[in-house]
Structure 1
């Protein structure tokens, strides 16, 4: 074998080795660090969200694994999710919208008190507003919105007889954002901001008389053990969102971004449907109806909705919710309320 042949073989061997190394390196799995919904919130987290992230590579069609942990098991407050994302500590977050609205008031435009009392309206608001919110989150926190979904109508659970909003006068009511607190004040209640995990004990000890959450979340966390009445006036829809850091997003090729977005669109669509199913069932389960199937049966008193309370809630959107929120949001983001009125406000007929 002459010198040229030996050199060619050597070059070929090195090239082959480099190709194998490059292939192996390219196929090495990436792991995303993911903040999930609190495990205490119940069946959406347990039966839909967690399985999605546990099987992340298969669900997305990408060579990416997910290191998924619920926020209540991380030692991170659910009000700090955007901050830790901006700091680069996590790649994807299951974002608690109302809880993070103090850091970014624009978020609350998805879920103003009284604006979206049902699933169909909430979906219209999200579809209209998502572009505005995505742009803002990218600019302020370097995260991209991948989708949003609701836990469902947020209703009252009380340890005292409550059959109307008028019965809340003088009572201490757990709230979770400033918009809801302002509405509770307007009907004579005293708002008490508490995280979800603090509520059961606070009800038990009398720190609060009532608390607001979705029927299924209340059921999963045992609130009917420490309350007696359920009043089904849905003041908000408890919208939550998925967001990815722009750093992680920008590392993906366009076709990979499309796959990831498609997977999250399917996930959020699945949760919209499942949430509605859970809400109907939990309303029955909380009051011990035979139709209860998915949640745990309890024996709360379910007070019929008052038409006057529905009107009070509807009137509160233009009178309380939008002005209160706009004042705060426009200070942080000067086009905030104008952007909302041009999108979500337009589909709701609120200008």
Structure 2
């Protein structure tokens, strides 16, 4: 009996250790993915190897739209998604993707604080827990030719990545085409799209200088990614390991916000160094885009109802 005891103890240790899978749609070099990789390393270290998180970047495990359902169904334990991708399911997710609602990081943080209680409630009702959220750098306009007003955009095929960008395209007289970040170069190369609004960071990821010439720094909005975990997986951890995970998530959130701000300037410098024209938008183009934003805010408030209006007022401090 005594000879078997070490093996029994070893087996118990093996049973306690957990290996989780996490899916993200963004490539390994993206700052969101790198932040997640550091989060995973910190969790493994803090738990003494009892919890190992394998990160699957670039949509390699699930396409972007399937990541949250996979967490909800227990196929994977964790996932990262763009919050505004879920706008059709819950309008609160869409508020950070409406043009000119929040254009700076201080505004973006206030908006996140206003959204977070409702986001946590929605996820909780579906068996998931919000771990943290990190913003993208402000969104800019990429085109192949100069654009001085909304009139110059009419008729273009425009890359949409959520309901808000699709609606913006419609209001500007463009044709929205749904294209995920990983497919941007191919979409431009084949003529599926001719313009897009996205961050300078995504422009670097997709090597936008190969297919566009102009980046207009309109700072239209600051969307966020959120990292979620299945409640059953979280509750399956020991209290000690659960707290280690939550602590690492808090650090990842703060680190991610800092990385986003650092990334903005660095990415724009990279675009310029690769031959792109990084320019300020004309007053007319900004005015045209702001009018679209005002229309979309009104539409959003009607769609989101009293709950949404309350969140928006909370953000505005009213």
Tell me the TM-score range normalised by the shorter chain: 0.7 to 0.9
Other structure's SS at 1:32 match? strand
Matched, 1:89 2:75: yes
Tell me which residue corresponds to 2:120: 134
Count, aligned residues: 318
For residues 162 and 110 of structure 1, do their structure 2 counterparts lie closer, same or farther at Cα, with a shift above 3 Å needed? closer
Please identify, of 169-178 and 17-26, the stretch whose mean Cα deviation from structure 2 is larger. Answer: 17-26
Is 1:188 aligned with 2:173?
yes
Measure, in 2, the Cα distance between the counterparts of 1:28 and 1:250: 14
Once the two structures are TM-superposed, the CA of residue 260 in structure 1 deviates from its matched residue by: 1.8
305, 312, 323: which is aligned to 2:299?
323
Q: Who is 1:175 aligned against? A: 160
SS of residue in 2 equivalent to 1:183: helix
Q: Is the CA contact (8 Å cut-off) linking 1:129 and 1:340 kept in structure 2?
A: no
Distance 2:242 2:148 in 1: 49
Please state how far the C-alpha of 1:64 moved relative to its aligned partner.
0.5
2:23 is aligned with 1:38 = no
Alignment match, 2:315: 347
Asked which structure has the greater RCO (Cα within 8 Å, sep 6+), the reply is 2
8 Å Cα contact 1:110-1:129 kept in structure 2: no
Structure 2 equivalent of residue 143 of structure 1: 128
Instruction: Please state whether the residue corresponding to 1:115 is helix, strand or coil.
Output: coil
Secondary structure of the residue aligned to 2:59 is helix
Q: Secondary structure at the match of 1:72?
A: coil
Distance 1:47 1:68, change over 3 A: closer
TM-score (norm 1): 0.80
| Whole-angstrom distance in 1 between the partners of 2:185 and 2:238 | 45
CA positional deviation for 1:57: 1.0
Normalising by structure 2, report the TM-score: 0.88
1:297-308 → structure 2 map (5 Å cutoff) = 298-308=274-284
Cα RMSD for the two superposed structures: 2.9
Q: Say whether the 8 Å CA contact 1:37–1:45 is kept in structure 2.
A: no
Bigger CA radius of gyration: 1
Deviations 1:133-172 (A, max 9, x none): 0110110x31111110112112111122224433212211
- Dislocated runs of 4+, deviation >6 Å: none
CA distance in 1, matches of 2:294, 2:240: 43
Task: Name the residue aligned to 1:66.
Answer: 53
CA distance in 1, matches of 2:47, 2:150: 45
After TM superposition, give the deviation of residue 322 of structure 1 in Å.
Answer: 4.7
Matched, 1:250 2:238: no
Which of 44, 47, 53 is residue 40 of structure 2 equivalent to? 53
Change (3 A) 1:61 1:115: farther
Provide Cα deviations, 1:146-199, integer angstroms capped at 9, x if missing partner: 110112112111122224433212211111111222122222222222112222
The change in CA–CA distance for 1:166 and 1:346 in structure 2 (over 3 A counts) is farther
